[in-house]
Amino acid sequence: MKKSIRYENKKVLVLGLAKSGKAAARLLCQLNAEVVINDGNSLDGNSDAEEMLAEGFEVIAGSHPVELLDRGFDLIVKNPGIPYRKVPLLMEAIRRQIPILTEVQLAYDICEAPFIGITASNGKTTTTTLIYEMLKESNLNPLIAGNIGEVASLVAQQATADQVLVTELSSFQLMGIDTFSPKISLLLNITEAHLDYHTDLNEYQQAKLNLISNQQADQFCVYNMDDEVIVNGLSRTNATCIPFSLSKVVDGAYLLDGWVYFKDEKIIDVDSILLKGDHNLQDVLGAVAVSKLYGCETEAIKRVLMRFVGVKHRLQYVDEVAGVKYYNNSKATNVIATQTALKAFDQSVILLAGGLDRQHDLTGLVKYFPKIKMMISFGETKHRFKALADEYSMPCVVVEHLDQAVAEAAAHSNSGDVVLLSPACASWDQYPNFEIRGDRFIELVEQLKLNH
């Protein structure tokens, strides 16, 4: 861990606990800061607060009193999930020009290893994981942290100069940096998102672009040339900019005649990549560009792309049974996510859909019906999917539970088909979360394979 005097003898308010708040408070204490913790949850049953109190920290819990700021804090380290404009204490801190950071900045200040920073509206987790796997396959000693896996400031304390920290970064985290400057940044895409958190779309876009604002000419910014917001935002960086594109040949990563290229080098033919769909190809191009710039061997990149089945529950290839491929896309809790999944397949699809009925409009699926051989609906929304299917003469079987849906899919599928769990609904009518729903699907496919 690098010695940083930035926080020495500073009065720091850590706002919000959970994993990132606890890690930040402990690190700041090591850096000889004077730390006060403020958590919005009451002390009653607050195990995080009790844990920090037992370690000797001052913890003020139950609300975020504005008068706390009268204690003369030099800065605030904020849990990324706490919105800036909805908490009066933070609004007053902004008015008083008290710096507000997130723990990602702390991680950068003390980390001996360089950073690779990845942000996007969609695809961050898949791409971050791909880059980590490619670097690991090339024996480049990567660590993974940020919005995926462990808290960045915890991992950064253990990192050494011969390692590299691959970090998935959200707009929430990036609003709280001031000097953070990754060796390689990756801007995958920026679309409308998180407007319940950000003041407006421009604030969200600018938060994403914070990733590149401190980079210098000896660092790299890998960017999506097909994204107008990103291209227009490149004026914010001094980094050496390397493009990737799904639609044109560029001086970076691109597609040509069914192959992925980096500059003039053929990397892999698209048919050999297990990840399906243009959205995943975008992730692949970004990951290839970053990995090549960091020194990955082409053969290592190919090996990863030929075995990588996706991040769990995100269009994850599960297995093949009797010539039928099964994909777990349980994270698709809305129609748009299911549309994206359906775009990925040229094969005949049996779609497993249903779940909590939040009265979402399901008609966005209709234009993808030509790809669907049959729909099997379950959960609260089963009859709504059935009604939509009947209206367009789409075969649809209604069942109660996912277990029955998988059995029906197996009974109605033929070799060459795809069975896709992409529910277009939240899981809470039958499962605590989409992960448990996806795990059950994986178990059912495994049972099918055993029985077959």
Number of Cβ within 10 Å of residue 355's Cβ equals 26
Q: State how far the Cα of 352 lies from the Cα of 375, in Å rounded to an integer.
A: 6
**CB distance 5 to 28 below 8 Å:** no
Phi-psi region of 341 (alpha: psi -120 to 50; beta: other; left: phi over 0): alpha
Q: State how far the Cα of 291 lies from the Cα of 374, in Å rounded to an integer.
A: 40
- Residue 71 DSSP symbol: G
**Side-chain-side CA neighbours of residue 272 (13 Å):** 14
- pLDDT given at position 199: 79
- pLDDT given at position 360: 87
Among 340, 269, 252, 278, CA closest to 306:
269
Q: Which amino acid is at 443?
A: E
Could you please report the per-residue DSSP string of 6-25? TTTT-EEEEE--HHHHHHHH
* In 322-381, beta strands by DSSP E: 324-328, 349-354, 372-378
**CB distance 184 to 171 below 8 Å:** no
Interval 184-191 mean pLDDT = 94
* pLDDT-wise least confident of 78-87, 374-383, 404-413, 433-442: 78-87
Interval 228-235 mean pLDDT = 97
Q: Judge whether residue 10 has pLDDT over 90.
A: yes
**CB distance 405 to 425 below 8 Å:** no
Interval 196-208 mean pLDDT = 87
- pLDDT given at position 304: 97
Q: Which amino acid is at 416?
A: G
Which tens digits make up the pLDDT trace of 311-370?
A: 888 889 999 999 999 999 999 998 988 998 999 898 999 999 999 998 889 999 999 999
Q: Specify the CATH class of 11-101 in words.
A: alpha beta
Q: Judge whether residue 149 has pLDDT over 80.
A: no
Which tens digits make up the pLDDT trace of 267-293?
A: 999 999 988 888 899 999 999 999 999
Number of Cβ within 10 Å of residue 104's Cβ equals 29
Instruction: Give 104-307's CATH code, choosing from 3.40.50.720, 1.10.10.10, 3.40.1190.10, 3.30.750.24.
Output: 3.40.1190.10
- List beta partners, residue 210: none
- pLDDT given at position 18: 87
CATH 3.10.20.340 is right for the domain spanning 316-451: no
Which tens digits make up the pLDDT trace of 159-170?
A: 999 999 999 999
- pLDDT given at position 193: 66
**pTM of the full structure:** 0.83
pLDDT band at 38 (very low <50, low <70, confident <90, very high): very high
Number of Cβ within 10 Å of residue 418's Cβ equals 24
Q: State how far the Cα of 168 lies from the Cα of 406, in Å rounded to an integer.
A: 33
* Burial track 178-213 (b if 16+ CB lie within 10 A, e otherwise): eebbbbbbbbbbbeebeeebbeeeebbbbbbbbbbb
pLDDT band at 9 (very low <50, low <70, confident <90, very high): very high
Q: What are the boundaries of each domain within the chain?
A: 11-101, 104-307, 316-451
Residue 425 phi, psi (nearest 5)? -145, 155
CA–chain centroid gap for 427, Å, is 19
Instruction: Identify the three-state secondary structure at position 138.
Output: coil
265: which 2 tokens? 């080098």
Which tens digits make up the pLDDT trace of 41-61?
A: 999 999 999 999 999 999 999
- List beta partners, residue 254: 245, 261
Place of tokens 């604002």: 213
Q: Judge whether residue 122 has pLDDT over 90.
A: no
Q: Which amino acid is at 427?
A: S
Interval 171-182 mean pLDDT = 96
* In 197-249, beta strands by DSSP E: 220-224, 240-245
